Structure 1
Amino acid sequence: MTAGPARPTCFLHMGPPKTGSSTISHFVEGNIEELERRGYFVPRMPSLKGRPQNGHGIFANVALNELEVDGTLKPGATLWTELEEVAANGEKHIVLTNEAFAFSLREPAKVDAILTFFERHGYPVTVIAYIRDQPSSLNSSYVQTQKRLYARQTFDEFVEEAAERGRVDPWRLLEHIIDNPRVTLSVGSFEKAMKSGLEADFARRIGLPDDAGLKPVPEVRNPNAGIKTVYAAQEILRQTTGTLQKMPSYKKIYRRFRKHFETLGWTDDAYVGLDQERYAQIREFYRDSNERFAKRFLNADWADLAPDRTYKRNVFDPERASQEELDEIKAVVDEIVTLIRRAQRAESKGGRLKFFKKVKKKAAAKLGRRKKKAPGAAARVA
């Protein structure tokens, strides 16, 4: 459904993950002047630097730190102050977009804090969510956890954990939004929106006419992680301990790993953890839930929104790889593992990792001239 623009509204796009959230954030950021001219306020995040790096997720993450139970700001609040000023004026719609809200809106305390804040200023809240067929969503999400060195688990373990936690079940994902009288839910099929134009679909959901004139923005997104990237990441995780993303030096280490898998061309051969049997099992597990949701909120059959697909498992097999490929992967793994171990030792003593030139020089010597130019144009959303 599309909320009309007559009354100032907060449009809160929550993703969830792997449903084109980066595309939408980039589209909004690229049209921020036109949106402002039409009466929409979009927070400008200093970290974006021309591209949404984190979108508006920080507002979701700090909601309980900055908002009192009555919707007022806590002493020392720094991020929600800008929204307070705009909402107090009550003249502009507010657009917040980031998949971090998918996690925050599963916490009753955060849901209440955010809604109470906007209600205090007379703002209704429309939550926008796109729902995706689970097998492809799970495959994409798993690749994300591996390439970012998040989780030591197999694809099947990831699928089972997602089922237990309700990460991709629409009813559980939206349990605090569905039938909540304080919220308007605007939900769409990711597959259908991609076919018709995701950006245009989102624009309609925030109340803009089809002739609004928002410009298309060149697709910018993280490149897909191919089978070599996933294999190398799993080797790095196998040879290290601890929660890597909680390390102070994690971002530097990940950027170093990412530079390798992009420049070496490891993004070209997509990882697929699904075979046809596993695909069918996942579809069957969510079938009843999906059908009920599709009929109620999308006025369609789930099978029409997300027709059956054919999958063939595609993972890196070291037994079939050439010695050159194995040496290339080993050089990257050795360098990143060394950096992680040095960082952990330094950080345990209160210090920080320093990227010693000799580490990079040694790795470069191992990699030799095998690096090739990173792919230029980014692919469409997986």
Structure 2
Amino acid sequence: MTQTRSGQADQPLQSQRPQLIVHAGTHKTASTYIQERLHRNRDLLSSHGVSLQDPLGCKPKPKKLAAELCKRRSKRWKAFFKQQPEGPHRLLSAEQFAVPLTDPNCIRQLEAMADAAGYELHIVIFIRSQLDYINSRYIYSLRRFYHHQTFEQFVDDALQGKLQNEKPKRGKIKRRQDVFDFWNYFQPLLKAKAKGLKVSFLPFRQGGVDPFEQFILTINLSTALPWKPCPQKHYNRSPGTRGVWLARVLSQLLRENNISPKTIGNSSQIILNEERQRRWNDPSFWGYSRKLTKKVMRHFETNNARFAQAAWNCSWDEAFSTTNSATQRRRTAYAPQSIEAEVRMHAAAQRLLDRIKRQQISGTASPLKQLIRMTLGT
């Protein structure tokens, strides 16, 4: 699909064959933001022939449909297709679709179900350059205490196709680990695309364009329409440099105390809340040294060239020409400048650990307390 300078789509969506549009992420490519804007603009979408399967008001929810694919089931899909949409086109958005769409059988199943229901399947996936993507996944996994690796250790694992805390299977689908090697990871979709399946791989923030606008143009709607904006709170916020350092120390303490992050309520907000309370306003974390940047670029260079040719019919650098300033970024990470500063940071991590312990003890004890109260009649 091409776009004009005015932001108009090149072919009106209403004139096309009914489409089932599946926005499948990928992870850390503003999916939450895009979904919130789609939700806020569902009436405008409907007026232009697109029926959004809004997870806040529609069942089955998109992520449940993704899970259904992983389990090789079709009951929820049959219920979905029985619904009477307001427009000819239907839209699903859930990054959980990325997992089944790496399986050729799931792709064929989805395409067959869509075709039987009278729809042309259109899959939309954002691609983020590996430097940005690995850095973002490091922060994401660390703030959820999945590991306590240094950035260098995390990168080494990423280059070997390893991800921390990834379940080996989702339903009946073996979960792929090589998520940063797009040529291999998306090989089933690339093959389906070559056979005629409509697949749009979007370079994330190409030309600095808002990803919601990228998506809208890709489904052949105009960015000039009166799309409602999205509040700042729906942009995924990441910890700054001190927050990342604190998250790693706390994650190590949790491991030493045999506390699983899965048992911690709202774990992803702990470091962010601590930053707010301490009024830290640090720069974004960027873990690469110049040497590590070159290592990552060399590792993916050959397969990136293959992927770009298959996905966009151009070179990788052309696809990311105006957004690849990551190669020139300097490392931005926190390191205590004195023993006193390091002691203070470790003390902060210990206080957070103690708080988590108290919450877990309180949560464990509460049913017993209720039983005692019931027994005593108090």
Code of the residue aligned with 2:333 in structure 1: it is V
Name structure 1 gaps, 5 residues minimum: 49-54, 355-382
* Cα contact 1:64–1:113 (8 A) shared by 2: no
Task: Find the counterpart in structure 1 of residue 164 from structure 2.
Answer: none
Cα displacement string for residues 47-75 of structure 1 (whole angstroms, at most 9, x for unaligned residues): 99xxxxxx94443235445x63xxx40xx
| CA deviation after TM superposition for structure 1 residue 231, in Å | 1.2
C-alpha distance in structure 2 between counterparts of 1:296 and 1:131, whole Å: 13
Other-structure match for 2:173: none
Match for 1:291 among 305, 329, 332?
A: 305
Is 2:42 the counterpart of 1:45? Answer: no
> What displacement does 1:109 show?
5.2
Distance 2:268 2:85 in 1: 42
Show the counterpart of 1:143: 139
- Note the C-alpha offset of 1:172: 2.2
* Corresponding position of 2:230: 217
- Residue 178 of structure 1, aligned match among 173, 190, 196: 190
Q: Of 93, 96, 99, which aligns to 2:95?
A: 99
Percent identity, please: 21
Tell me how far 1:145 sits from its aligned partner.
0.9
Among 241, 261, 265, the residue aligned to 2:275: 261
In structure 2, the CA distance between the partners of 1:187 and 1:64, relative to structure 1 (3 Å rule), is closer
2:98 maps to a residue whose letter is A
Separation in structure 2 between the aligned mates of residue 153 and residue 353 of structure 1, nearest angstrom: 38
Once residues 269 and 57 of structure 2 are traced to their aligned partners in structure 1, the CA distance between those partners, rounded to angstroms, is: 16
For 1:174-323, what aligned pairs fall within 5 Å after superposition? 174-180=186-192, 181=195, 183-193=197-207, 195-219=208-232, 220-241=234-255, 244-247=260-263, 250-266=264-280, 268-304=282-318, 305-306=320-321, 307=324, 309-318=327-336, 320-321=337-338, 323=340
TM-score, normalised to structure 1, is: 0.75
Aligned residue for 1:178, secondary structure, equals helix
Q: Is the 8 A contact 1:15 1:129 kept in 2?
A: yes
Letter in 2 for 1:167: V
Alpha-carbon distance between aligned partners in 1 of 2:367 and 2:271, rounded to the nearest angstrom:
18
2:81 alignment counterpart = 84
Q: 1:352 to 1:117 in 2, by over 3 A?
A: farther
Find the counterpart in structure 1 of residue 349 from structure 2. Answer: 333
- Where in structure 2 are there 5+ consecutive unaligned residues? 3-10, 162-176, 370-378
Using the TM superposition, give the Cα deviation of residue 346 of structure 1 relative to its aligned residue in structure 2, in angstroms. 7.3
Whole-angstrom CA distance in 1 between matches of 2:359 and 2:274: 19
Which range moved further: 206-215 or 266-275? 206-215
Matched-pair contact (CA < 8 Å) for 2:130–2:180: yes
Report the alpha carbon displacement of residue 260 of structure 1 after superposing the two structures with TM.
Answer: 1.5
For residues 353 and 196 of structure 1, what CA distance do their matches in structure 2 show? Answer: 55
Q: Judging changes above 3 Å, is the alpha-carbon distance between structure 1 residues 218 and 346 closer, same or farther for their aligned structure 2 residues?
A: closer
Aligned residue in 2 for 1:169: 181
Task: Point out the more displaced range, 234-243 or 1-10.
Answer: 1-10
| SS of residue paired to 1:284 | helix
Distance (whole Å) between structure 2 residues aligned to residue 32 and residue 137 of structure 1: 29
Number of residue-to-residue matches in the alignment: 332
1:157 paired to 2:169:
no
CA contact (8 A) 1:106 1:176 kept: yes
The CA deviation at 1:17 is 1.9
